[in-house]
Amino acid sequence: MKKFNKLILLLASASLFASACHMSDAKNQAEPNKTTSHAEKTTEINELVSFEEDTKLLKMEPKLKEKTYKQLDQMESYSEDPIISPHSMSNIQTIEDQKAYENVIKASYHSPQLIYIGFNECPYCRNFLPKLNQLAKELSLTYYYYNTNERVNDNNFRDLVDNYFKVSTVPQLFLIKDGQIDRKLENTNSMAELEAFLLAAK
């Protein structure tokens, strides 16, 4: 009963966030949450974000970069098939179990670590992840994928979700330093903010 009440509270709190997916405790389809603000300020483009192999966002001429970022900011979600596997992303490493997560936290005492939280079926994750990966690739950064659907049976799952990350919607990106959350970024943040966030991880 306690677990059920926690789940209800978790889902209820998700309504405070805009343009994100409710985090799931089971392998269910994503339930998008688009209650306010960011999506209403722009005309959303329902296309899958992808980049040519030779794309260099960070080296673009300023006006072209601004135009490109503006277009990418409008591409918040993609709900059609196919679902692109995160494993196809060049700079991602999947957190496969509780021990792997603990190793990432230990590593944060030596250098900043990036943890991306989401799940494959989430329409917002599908378009956030390629943006993250493109900039991470250009900056030679590795980030770790914590898939909430696959990690739900870990002993530390509830504690991480409720108390450490305090996640109610995804996608979210965390910068971990010395075992603590230094900062976080959500899907509602712009490409310029994502770039600045990743530069802080260098």
pTM metric for this prediction: 0.81
**Whole-number Å distance between alpha carbons of 130 and 156:** 28
The pLDDT assigned to 29 comes to 47
**Whole-number Å distance between alpha carbons of 128 and 164:** 22
Domain boundaries, the chain: 2-199
Residue 22 has pLDDT above 80, yes or no: no
Q: What is the mean predicted confidence (pLDDT) over 116-127?
A: 95
The pLDDT assigned to 196 comes to 97
Name residue, tokens 């919607």.
Answer: 169
Query: Which residue has better confidence, 57 or 38?
Result: 57
The pLDDT assigned to 188 comes to 86
Q: Are 145 and 118 in contact (CB under 8 A)?
A: yes
The radius of gyration computed from the CA coordinates of the chain, to the nearest angstrom, equals: 16
115 contact partners, CB below 8 Å, separation of at least 6: 95, 104, 143, 144, 146, 173, 174, 176
Residue 113 has pLDDT above 60, yes or no: yes
DSSP code per residue over 7-37: HHHHHHHGGGSSSEEE--SSS----EE--ST
**Whole-number Å distance between alpha carbons of 143 and 135:** 11
Query: Which residue has better confidence, 66 or 81?
Result: 66
CA distances from 80 to 30, 46, 125 (A): 12, 9, 13
| Residue range 2-199, CATH number | 3.40.30.10
The pLDDT assigned to 17 comes to 37
